[in-house]
């Protein structure tokens, strides 16, 4: 089955264009937009890890190595589309327009970190595995019923394909032919479990066959392949042709979270020959005349400045409202919860 789902690539590990049909579709604007956003989210990711180690953020889920998968897919969206991320897809949500300071707030356990900008449809990050897939299908169904051209994208890892929500989401989307793209980032591990121990399928893309939808396998470290294949899937959805399952084969260089030690379960040299997406894009830029040293420096300075300002805003944010623990859960607060809230507020007053 694996031979039926070859990994699609546009540039190779050395940044050489291997599919000439895309030569006219790649221009300076696209190259710079992809590269800028990858640098931006990588810088954010490294800063977040540093903040966690300093005790200024809570446990954090890094994504370094998956920048192309997140940026390439998010840039293919339209402003009115829907994004359903996991806890590791803040690179995609930042690219789509989520506020950076609020993204930091999320990793400090603040409810404000789940609130998207008013002009973006971004679902709160799903921590339970695969639960966002039926939600993405439902939002897409609603857009279809409204007669819009809006689509939704659901991000998930390889471990999510072992959950019932994965199959329910794909089945619902297929039956009702809704405009949703299921975007899998296959980094080879479901926490500490390698993919060969949690599924017997040769690929994730082939799971699309059971649900009568297109399935495609792409090089998740090739930003161009991600962008153009995701855009193709979005066009397919907007045209009323239903969902697509995309498997982006990638590699996360670091730990599952900052509370994890991958040396306990990943072989020491595993992944060392993989050319990361930022390096590959830089090689492409140098090979095809897009490299501009001054512009690169400006990008790094701009992103660093933006991130430092976001950290400052996060750390100067007003203290959390303790009532958020109780409010916004039920339309009408149950008596038991109301009593707990009253008792806790009285306790605070006595302090």
Catalytic residue numbers?
Answer: 252, 256, 265
CA distance 346 to 351: 9
Contact 106, 44 (CB under 8 A): no
DSSP lists the bridge partners of residue 11 as: 17
Contact 160, 191 (CB under 8 A): no
The DSSP secondary structure of 300-351, one letter per residue, reads: HHHHHHHHHHHHHHHHTSPPP-GGGGTSSS-SS--HHHHHHHHHHHHHHHH-
Contact 157, 222 (CB under 8 A): no
CA distance 318 to 331: 26
CA distance 348 to 326: 15
Residues 6+ away with beta carbon under 8 Å from 147 = none
Contacts 24+ apart (CB under 8 A), 115-119: 119/79
Contacts 24+ apart (CB under 8 A), 284-292: 284/11, 284/15, 284/16, 284/17, 284/31, 285/15, 285/31, 285/35, 286/15, 287/14, 287/15, 287/16, 288/17, 290/28, 290/31, 290/32
Contact 56, 105 (CB under 8 A): no
Contact 80, 106 (CB under 8 A): no
């Amino acid at each position: 089955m694996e031979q039926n789902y070859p990994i699609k690539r546009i540039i190779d590990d050395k940044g050489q264009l291997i599919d000439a049909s895309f030569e006219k579709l790649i221009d300076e604007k696209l190259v710079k937009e992809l590269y800028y956003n990858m640098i931006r989210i990588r810088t954010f990711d490294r800063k977040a890890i540093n903040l966690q180690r300093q005790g200024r953020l809570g446990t954090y889920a890094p994504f370094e190595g998956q920048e192309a998968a997140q940026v390439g897919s998010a840039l293919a969206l339209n402003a009115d589309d829907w994004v359903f991320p996991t806890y590791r897809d803040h690179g995609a949500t930042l690219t789509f327009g989520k506020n950076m300071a609020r993204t930091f707030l999320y990793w400090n356990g603040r409810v404000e970190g789940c609130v998207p900008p008013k002009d973006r449809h971004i679902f709160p990050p799903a921590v339970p595995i695969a639960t966002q897939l039926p939600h993405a299908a439902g939002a897409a169904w609603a857009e279809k019923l409204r007669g819009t051209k809006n689509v939704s994208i659901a991000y998930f890892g390889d471990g999510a394909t072992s959950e019932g929500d994965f199959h329910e989401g794909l089945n619902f989307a297929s039956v009702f032919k809704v405009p949703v793209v299921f975007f899998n980032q296959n980094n080879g591990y479901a926490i500490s479990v390698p993919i060969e121990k949690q599924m017997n399928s040769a690929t994730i893309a082939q799971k699309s066959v059971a649900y009568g939808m297109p399935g495609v396998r792409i090089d998740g470290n090739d930003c161009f392949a991600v962008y153009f294949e995701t855009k193709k899937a979005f066009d397919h959805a907007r045209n009323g042709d239903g969902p697509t399952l995309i498997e982006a084969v990638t590699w996360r260089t670091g730990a599952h979270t900052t509370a994890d030690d991958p040396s306990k379960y990943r072989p020491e040299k595993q992944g060392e020959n993989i050319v990361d997406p930022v390096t590959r894009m830089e090689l492409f830029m140098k090979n095809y005349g897009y490299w501009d040293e001054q512009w690169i420096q400006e990008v790094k300075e701009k992103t660093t400045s933006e991130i430092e300002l976001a950290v400052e805003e996060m750390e100067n944010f007003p203290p959390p409202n303790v009532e958020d623990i109780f409010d916004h859960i039920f339309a009408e607060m149950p008596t038991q919860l109301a009593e707990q809230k009253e008792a806790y507020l009285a306790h605070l007053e006595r302090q």
